[in-house]
Amino acid sequence: MDVIDRKILHELQANAKISMKELAQKVYLSSPSTIERVRRLEENGIIKGYKTIVDAEKLNRNITAFVLFETTKCKDLAAFCSVHPDVMECYRVAGKISYIAKVCTESVHTLEEFIDKAMEFGTPSTNIVLSSYTNMELKLSQDTSSG
């Protein structure tokens, strides 16, 4: 993990489908060495995968919400959330709230259905997203630790 690897991760986070040739130019290296660095980053698990980001609203998923749960049934709630198609992410957290689900659903009506079912596993408090800023990029510092 040197400064070049961090630059590579920066570029790949912004655009996973950049060609290795163009990536090599951006980091001032030849294509083969760049490819080898990317391969190592994949092998080390530092690169976990390449995902396509889709526009939820354009696919009729108009409501995004964070549903916060006070519950003692985290296992059951996790099982419920992991198979529910509207749940994008969920988190076991430390605090008064013990579970957070990010849901992306068609309407307030389908959100209501989700909440009704989820109430079996805890007490939800729902926060509908009005606007968001998600760069989804891990900004890497210039220290030389880890890797």
**Rounded Cα distance, 30 and 3, in Å:** 16
Among 29, 35, 88, 115, indicate the residue that binds a copy of itself (CB under 8 A). 88
Residue 65: strand, helix, or coil: strand
Q: Does 144 bind DNA (CB under 7 A)?
A: no
Contacts to a copy of itself from residues 50-69, by CB under 8 A: 50-56, 58-61, 64-66, 68
Q: Does 139 bind a copy of itself (CB under 8 A)?
A: yes
Q: Quote the radius of gyration of the chain (alpha carbons, Å).
A: 20
CB-CB contact of 109 with 116 (8 Å) = no
Q: Which residue bears the tokens 């519950």?
A: 71
Compute how many residues bind DNA; rule: CB under 7 A: 12
Kindly report the number of other CB atoms within 10 A of residue 34's CB atom. Answer: 22
CB-CB contact of 61 with 73 (8 Å) = no
x-or-dash pattern for DNA, window 15-44, by CB under 7 A? ----xxxx------xxxxx-xxx-------
Binding site for a copy of itself (CB under 8 A): 1, 9, 12-17, 44-56, 58-61, 64-66, 68, 78, 81-82, 85-86, 88-97, 100, 104, 125-141, 143, 145-147
Binding site for DNA (CB under 7 A): 19-22, 29-33, 35-37
